[in-house]
Amino acid sequence: MAAPESGDGNNGAARMVTLISSDNTRFEVEAAAASLSQTLQLTILDGGGGGGDGIPLPNVDSATLSKVLEYCIKHAPAAANGGAPNATAVDRAELERFDNEFVNIDQSVLYSLIMAAHNLEIEGLQSLVAKKVADMIKGKSPMEIRRTLGFPDPTPEEQAEMNAHMLEYGWAYE
Amino acid sequence: MAGSRRRRQLKKQREQAAAIIRVNFVERLPQELLAKIHDHLRFLDRLAFAVVCKTAGHPVPQQLDDTEPWLVFPDETKEEATFFSLAKGRAASARTSDLGTRGHVVLGSSSGWLATADEQAGIHIVDPFTGEHAALPDIRTVSFIRCWLSSGVHFFVDTEPLQKIRYGGQITRYAAMLILDNDFGVPAFATWEDPAAWTVAPARDGVEDAIHHEGWFYSVSSSGAIDAWEHKSGEFTSKVVAPARAMPVVKGFHVGRKYLVAMPDERLAVVLKYIRDEPPRIYQQPKSWACRFKVQVLIDAAHCAWQ
């Protein structure tokens, strides 16, 4: 299975690396995009992942890796530009639009993405998914947050504990 | 009958799907990711999230370290205050008299301790949770702070001992610049050669602010010109460093004040404070205003180039 196309098509000579998901799917991707992962960066700098070798990622399944690489490919040009200080407003707006759509996903996919961003140490993606979870939390009571984040309904003990904590912070809501 | 079995199967599938979707984030997420989520939340959402984290057996995210400030909410009627420590994630109400902080103002907080000052300038540190408190040395033990008792307690800085301490030794050669009221903007100078009196110096337009920098007095005028002040044969005269110029326009704001500063790289810069009076939203609401700042750095005095 091939990784999504980068879309710019102007650097055919760019170095490619192969990443192997936990379910043994191989993804060929530009080294610059994969290097957004701090975990992979050193291996790639050392010349790893090229040729027929591939870098195994036992903690990331193919569906999640495909999604992660979609993010890396989109953000690689801006990252190569040192955080894109020279990027135009149009470029920035386009990346923002992409980011907003990118995290408009099912919770289980979001969870896999969070773990992958953490394991692969992709700073921008970690921030993006953390912001998404924060947006899900904003303006909600602790009980609503529990429901949003997929907790089962609290046991009587948990309810008592929450009530105690709420008493502690209750003044802030008055 | 077959339809009923099909419905049961569908129900079971839906329940299984719901179980997959209902991922419990908080119990599984690494601490640093919780901290990142926390970074994106505002105060009340942080509290609600902290309750969820605690109930899930996670401590409050670790980046709430000792550098986080305390919040103090004084009670308007009772002698009580509510203290909230972001570092400890805890709130406490306490009688200010019990803590020895009655009538105190809070100066700051560090490492879970509050520093307070009373009307007599006694400085204390207090931990509102444990009630521990201790007095720090009186501000009057600083040798150049003087106390003046007249319709209340007033403190002032005695400049002579301050300068002796600051610059060392006896003050034998000095010069000082004084701007006589913002509205007049008239500069006056006093020197060691004539320690008895201030001498008013001629200025083309009003001086708004001045600094002493690299052995020179510099001033910025109401028209934005920068002057350097030269001391010759007992008189101070100004020479233009950068002439007056039009100030940048900020829509809806007017230039309120100008301040002159020296940058760390020793270049001069003018800080422009723009002010806009906000119309009251409701009848008798106190007057409010908004301000913005622009910093203009003089990058080339010879060519009057500003950045």
* Residue B202 included in any domain: yes
**More confident call, B192 vs A160:** A160
Q: Is residue B152 part of a domain?
A: yes
Highest mean pLDDT among A28-37, A39-48, B6-15, B230-239 belongs to A28-37
Question: In this complex, how many residue pairs, one in chain A and one in chain B, have their CB atoms less than 8 Å apart?
Answer: 101
Same domain, B210 and B286: yes
Spell out the per-residue pLDDT of chain B, length 307, in tens.
455 665 666 555 555 444 444 445 666 677 778 878 887 887 677 777 877 877 776 655 544 444 456 677 777 666 677 777 666 666 766 666 666 666 677 777 766 677 788 777 777 778 776 777 777 777 777 777 788 777 777 777 787 777 666 655 455 566 777 777 666 778 888 777 776 677 888 887 888 888 888 878 899 998 889 999 988 877 888 999 998 888 888 888 888 889 999 888 888 999 999 998 877 766 666 677 888 899 999 888 777 788 8
Q: Quick one: B194 and B294 in the same domain?
A: yes
Q: Are A65 and A19 in contact (CB under 8 A)?
A: yes
> Residue A77 CB: number of other CB atoms within 10 A?
18
Residue the block writes with tokens 């993606």: A125
CATH of A16-138, one of 3.30.710.10, 3.30.70.1340, 3.30.70.270, 3.40.50.2300: 3.30.710.10
Q: Which of B112, B140, B143 is nearest to B125 (CA)?
A: B112
A12 has a pLDDT exceeding 60: no
Q: Note whether B93 contacts A134, CB cutoff 8 Å.
A: no
pLDDT band at A4 (very low <50, low <70, confident <90, very high): very low
pLDDT, residue A102, reads 93
Q: What is the pLDDT of residue A6?
A: 41
Q: Chain B residues with CB inside 8 Å of A158's CB?
A: 55
- Count of domains forming chain B: 4
Name A62's Cβ contacts closer than 8 Å, sequence gap at least 6. Answer: A1, A21, A22, A23, A25, A27
- Over the stretch A115-145, which tens digit does the pLDDT of each residue have? 899 889 999 999 999 999 999 988 888 888 8
Answer yes or no: is pLDDT of A84 > 50. Answer: no
pLDDT score of B41: 80
- What per-residue confidence (pLDDT) applies to B4? 62
**Whole domain around residue B36: which residue ranges?**
2-55
Mean pLDDT computed over A56-65: 92
**Of B236, B246, B192, B235, the residue nearest B210 (C-alpha):** B236
More confident residue, B23 or A23: A23
Quote the minimal CA–CA distance from B90 to chain A in Å: 7
Helix/strand/coil percentages in chain A, nearest 5? 55, 5, 35
Does B200 share its domain with B276? yes
CB-CB neighbors (< 8 A) of A108 in chain B: 20-21, 23
Residue B228 confidence (pLDDT)? 92
Give the nearest partner residue to B51 out of A115, A134, A142, using CB atoms. Answer: A142
* pLDDT score of A3 more than 50: no
- Split at pLDDT 50, 70, 90, the class of A69 is very high
- Which of B26, B41, B91 lies nearest to residue A134, judging by beta carbons? B41
Q: Which of B221, B212, B205, B214 is nearest to B265 (CA)?
A: B214
Contacts with B93 from chain A: Cβ below 8 Å: 171
pTM: 0.46
Tell me whether residue B160 is in a domain: yes
Report the alpha-carbon angle A61-A76-A83, nearest 5. 125
Do the domain assignments include residue B244? Answer: yes
- For CATH 3.30.710.10, list the domain ranges present in chain A: 16-138
Does A1 or B150 have the greater pLDDT score?
A: B150
For the segment A74-96, the average pLDDT, to the nearest whole number, is: 73
Residues B180 and B292 in one domain: yes
The closest CB to that of A108, out of B23, B37, B93, belongs to B23
Same domain (yes/no): B182, B277: yes
The reported pLDDT for the residue numbered A64 is 94
Band of residue A11 on the pLDDT scale cut at 50, 70, 90:
very low
Identify whether residues B247 and B284 lie together within a single domain.
yes
**What are B160's two structure tokens?**
């002579």
Nearest to A3 by CA among A58, A59, A76: A76
B38-41's contacts with Cβ under 8 Å and 24+ in sequence apart are: B38/A134, B38/B63, B38/B64, B39/A130, B39/A134, B39/B63, B40/A130, B40/A131, B40/A134, B40/A135, B41/A134, B41/A137, B41/A138
